[in-house]
Amino acid sequence: MLDSETIDAGVTSLSVQEDSCEQSFSNKRINIQLDDTNFLLWRQQVTLMMRGQGLEAYLDGSVPPLPKLIRNANGENVSNPAYIRFIKQESSLASWLLSTVSPNILPQLVGADTTATIWSTILQLYLILKLKQVF
């Protein structure tokens, strides 16, 4: 189990980044919804939006996992505030990403519950679609 100082030192830049854009990012819109015809345009807009907010690591899943609990100064296990912020940010981003997808594609994303899972599922779907078009 990690202590709160170790956690705080390891996620300071992520936490600051999340706090500064959590409010503004949820209001960001892209001008198209993903459908069967516009994957490349949609991917470019989503990637640029995420990169512009410093959140691209959520797409590829490279955000380091955080423990739910940490030890306080008394040695007791307590909720990790950085984990709580991470879950809020992750859930907001996953919800935003789903809002950029057309209703006819959403059923294929049921069960994808993280930003990275949603992103990778969409990439796989469109790779398969592209391969079917070639063959």
Q: List the chain pLDDT tens, one digit each, 135 residues.
A: 444 443 333 333 333 344 544 545 556 788 899 999 999 999 999 999 999 999 999 999 999 889 999 999 999 999 999 999 999 999 999 999 999 999 999 999 999 999 999 999 999 999 887 767 655
The pLDDT, as a whole number, for residue 2 is: 40
Angle, in degrees to the nearest 10, between helices 81-99 and 4-25: 30
The pLDDT, as a whole number, for residue 135 is: 58
The residue whose two tokens read 């949603």 is 118
The pLDDT, as a whole number, for residue 14 is: 39
Range of the domain at 92: 4-134
CB 81 within 8 A of CB 70: no
The pLDDT, as a whole number, for residue 1 is: 44
The pLDDT, as a whole number, for residue 30 is: 86
Question: How many domains in the chain?
Answer: 1
| pTM to 2 decimal places | 0.77
- Kindly write down the DSSP assignment for every residue of the chain, as one continuous string: --BHHHHHHHHHHHHHHHHHHHHHHTT---S--B-TT-HHHHHHHHHHHHHHTT-HHHHHT-SPP--SEEE-TTS-EEE-HHHHHHHHHHHHHHHHHHHTB-TTTGGGGTT--SHHHHHHHHHHHHHHHHHHHH-
**Residue 114 backbone zone (phi > 0: left; psi -120 to 50: alpha; other: beta):** beta
Q: How far, in Å, CA of 74 to CA of 87, rounded? A: 26
The pLDDT, as a whole number, for residue 91 is: 95
User: How far is C-alpha 46 from the geometric centre of its chain's CA atoms?
Assistant: 11
Residue 26 backbone phi and psi in degrees, to 5: -65, -20
